[in-house]
Amino acid sequence: MQDAFSTIFPLQRGRVHDASGPGAPFFAAALAGMTGGTVLWIKPAWFAEEINPVAFSAFFDPRDIILARTADQTETLAAAEEGLRSGAVGLVVMEVDKPVELTPGRRLQLAAESGRSIGLSLHPEGAGNQAATTRWLCRPLFSASDSTLQEWSIIKNKTGTNNSWAVRWDETARRIHMVSETAERAGSQGPPG
């Protein structure tokens, strides 16, 4: 099972992927920490949540993030396409609130291929990029001893099968580790009553 996970995460370069669910920002931060290089994070200006680059310091150097605010989803996709095509950034994260149709999704894929960058769209559950190589559903798991415990499920995979993994972030190694089923069950039962 570990081998299957290590062949799919970190995500494939030169492709665009999707993530949704309450753990999607954590997924993006872990991906940024493992891929290295500069991260371009794009979100519409009207999204209420602000990004504090210092909050990413457990994952990567906050000086390696470029934050961009856009007027709408069309501008978000255009900025993401330029960032992917440039090859100047290792990861482009785009926050969207509506599905990405096939034509703009394909343009993003072509840009990622050209720039050898990774694209990641964060979107609400049920919406996504029709051209995405993989789609992930990311949720935190309760653990009294590990606040980084997550369940990541690949729910669309153009290059393989779907699967789910319990994972945790190792801040010292700056890596995601798959958690054994025994540890996951023990952590999800919560503190003794």
Q: pLDDT tens, 113-157?
A: 999 999 999 999 888 898 999 999 999 998 888 878 999 999 999
pLDDT at 181: 54
Inter-residue contact 36 to 13 (CB < 8 Å): no
pLDDT at 2: 55
- Report, as ranges of residue numbers, the positions in the chain whose pLDDT lies below 70: 1-3, 180-193
pTM summary value: 0.88
Inter-residue contact 133 to 158 (CB < 8 Å): yes
The letter for the amino acid at 55 is: A
Residue 60 CB coordination number (10 Å): 23
Residue 138 Cα distances to 15, 76, 88, 189, angstroms:
19, 22, 28, 19
pLDDT at 190: 47
How far apart (Å, rounded) are the C-alpha atoms in residues 99 and 131?
A: 11
Inter-residue contact 168 to 150 (CB < 8 Å): yes
